[in-house]
Structures are given as structure tokens and as C-alpha cells.
């Protein structure tokens, strides 16, 4: 495989310099519209459209939504495929486009997807020629560009251990919560469930205080002091959004906490940010 390194599609055109059986493009879309990333139907429609706009011949598509959120999908084209996995909690989508031949307009496909996803930052992470053809017309056998025995961990726990952290701060925003879920009584019940999931006992009863902001709307602020940290945040009635910050002086699984909250509050999707305290 021949890669040309990481670049932005806005800085230089996408080009392939080698004679090859296939072309492979990987794209990172950041700061996307999380509501779109969580919508299976919208994702399928916009990827099918991007494939058609690029000049591909669409055969079929299959997109699947995960619980509590996330979308994976593939558009099968005569030339090969468009594929995606989306993380609404990080406003991020990973895309790969593979084609046989040179009939697809990669640049147009990438820009169309950026606009449709509402992405404010697009990075072309790899531009690859697959199945290189030598001057005599035979297939070249490529050597690995990297040591494949080295594995990169995706575990939050290993990340926590590798940076020698002493605590974690996890921010979870849960969107489109039904208004009936956002009451002081229900919030107290949710906080109790969260404490059990975190295996951290409350030091005192939680405190919930109503507020009214002419610009940002009305809602409730809440605080729960734990034996190893705190849970603080607020919910906004007008936006139907629950904002929660969880801090513990030890490791805990961020996604487990986020998934408990979206399930308990019947939200449609959530966003997640994690910070290690060192």
C-alpha cells in the first residue's frame, strides 16, 4: 500500500500516483451534528446521496443503530463501498471509501459528506493505492509499513493506568429527554442509581435547587457529594437536556455511567467528554 500521509482535503487535491487495482480513502469528520450522527435514516440517506453525487453506481445500503446510540453503515456500489461508523457522543464519524478504478470523484464525495454531517473539521487521514501493479503488469507484494505486533489499546482503564492518573472527570450531556423525566423527584432517583453504578456511597442527601435564567431558560441544579468524589450538574427544561459532571478519585467506566443516564432519562442521544486527573 502507498500512503501519502495525513492532510486536509481543503489544502490539496486528493490524488493517486500509482497504478493499482483499487483506491482507498479514510476520512475523519470532527465536530459533526450529533443529532444527525444518531439518526439511522438520515445517515443512510446522506451516504447514499454522497455516493451518487461522486459518480458511483449504488447497488444497496445497510445501516444499523446501536443501543444506546451510534450508527454503522455501508453503501455497496458497483465500484466497491462507502462505509461509516459514527460516535454521536464525540461528534465524530470515521469514514472509508474504497473503489476499483478511477471513476469516482473522491474530493466531491468527501466535501458532500462534510456538508451533510455538519462537520466543522475534516481530515483525510489516508490516501492509499491497493493492489499495486508493477511495470510488467504483475501484482506487487507489499511489505508491512508498520510493526503489526504493537497494539494500541482502546480501553479507558488502560489509558487511566498509562498516564498514572489519580482521578477522572466525566461530562455527560443527555439530549431530548421527555419533560416528565426532568423533575426533582426523578433526578434524585437517577442520582441514586448512578451512585450504585459507581459503587460510591453518598455522604449526605443530594441538593436540588430550581433556577430561572431569562436567556438560558429554567431548570434545576443538583449536587451529590460522594465518599470518593462528586456528581454535579443541571437540567434545562426548554432544551430538554441533562448536563452532568462526575468526578471520582479513582477509575470508573465512562460509558457505563453515560448509558445509565440516557436509559434512566429516556434521552435520544448523549455526548461524552473524559478527562484524566494527574
Question: For the structural domain made of 156-277, what CATH number should be given?
Answer: 3.60.90.10
- Asked if residue 21 has pLDDT above 80, the reply is no
From the list 147, 203, 174, 201, the residue with the least C-alpha distance to 265 is 174
Residues of the chain with CATH 3.60.90.10: 2-132, 156-277
Q: Which of 146-155, 175-184, 216-225 has the lowest mean pLDDT?
A: 146-155
CA distances from 273 to 43, 91, 170, 248, 276 (A): 23, 11, 6, 14, 10
Q: What is the DSSP string of 139-166?
A: BP-PPPSS-TT------HHHHHHHTT-S
Coil, helix or strand at residue 197: helix
Of these residues, 24, 32, 54, 80, which one is catalytic? 80
- Asked if residue 18 has pLDDT above 70, the reply is no
Q: Which of 136-145, 241-250, 259-268 has the lowest mean pLDDT?
A: 136-145
Instruction: Report how far residue 275's alpha carbon sits from residue 136's, in angstroms, rounded to the nearest whole number.
Output: 54
- What is the total residue count of the chain? 278
- Is 32 catalytic? The answer is no
Of these residues, 72, 81, 85, 228, which one is catalytic? 85
Percent of the chain with pLDDT over 90: 50
191-233, pLDDT tens digit by residue? 999 999 999 988 888 888 877 777 767 888 889 999 899 999 9
Instruction: Report how far residue 228's alpha carbon sits from residue 203's, in angstroms, rounded to the nearest whole number.
Output: 9
71-123, pLDDT tens digit by residue? 999 999 998 999 999 999 999 999 999 988 778 899 999 999 999 999 999 98
- Is 81 catalytic? The answer is no
> Given this model, what pLDDT does residue 141 score?
65
Higher-confidence residue of 232 and 14: namely: 232
- Is 54 catalytic? The answer is no
- Asked if residue 140 has pLDDT above 60, the reply is yes
CATH architecture of 2-132: 4-Layer Sandwich (3.60)
Of these residues, 81, 90, 100, 125, which one is catalytic? 100
pTM: 0.69
Amino acid at each position: 500500500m502507498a500512503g501519502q500521509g495525513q492532510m486536509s482535503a481543503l489544502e490539496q487535491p486528493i490524488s493517486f500516483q500509482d497504478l493499482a487495482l483499487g483506491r482507498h480513502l479514510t476520512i475523519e469528520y470532527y465536530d459533526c451534528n450529533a443529532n444527525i450522527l444518531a439518526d439511522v435514516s438520515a445517515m443512510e440517506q446522506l451516504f447514499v446521496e454522497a455516493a451518487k453525487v461522486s459518480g458511483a453506481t449504488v447497488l444497496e445500503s445497510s445501516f444499523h443503530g446501536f443501543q444506546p446510540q451510534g450508527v454503522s453503515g455501508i453503501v455497496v456500489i458497483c465500484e466497491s463501498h462507502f462505509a461509516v461508523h459514527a460516535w454521536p457522543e464525540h461528534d465524530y464519524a470515521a469514514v472509508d471509501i474504497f473503489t476499483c478504478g478511477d471513476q469516482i470523484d473522491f474530493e466531491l464525495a468527501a466535501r458532500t459528506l462534510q456538508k451533510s454531517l455538519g462537520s466543522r473539521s475534516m481530515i483525510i487521514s489516508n490516501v492509499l493505492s491497493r493492489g499495486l501493479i508493477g511495470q510488467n503488469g504483475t501484482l506487487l507484494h507489499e511489505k508491512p509499513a508498520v510493526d503489526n505486533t504493537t497494539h494500541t489499546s482502546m480501553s479507558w482503564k488502560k489509558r487511566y493506568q498509562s498516564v498514572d492518573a489519580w482521578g477522572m472527570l466525566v461530562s455527560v450531556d443527555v439530549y431530548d429527554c421527555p419533560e416528565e423525566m426532568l423533575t426533582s423527584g426523578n433526578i434524585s432517583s437517577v442520582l441514586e442509581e448512578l451512585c450504585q453504578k459507581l459503587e460510591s456511597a453518598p455522604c449526605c442527601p443530594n441538593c436540588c435547587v430550581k433556577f430561572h435564567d431569562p436567556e438560558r431558560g429554567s431548570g434545576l441544579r443538583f449536587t451529590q457529594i460522594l465518599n470518593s468524589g462528586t456528581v454535579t450538574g443541571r437540567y434545562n427544561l426548554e432544551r430538554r437536556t441533562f448536563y452532568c459532571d462526575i468526578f471520582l478519585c479513582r477509575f470508573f467506566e465512562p460509558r457505563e455511567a453515560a448509558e445509565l443516564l440516557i436509559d434512566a432519562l429516556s434521552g435520544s442521544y448523549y455526548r461524552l467528554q473524559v478527562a484524566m486527573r494527574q
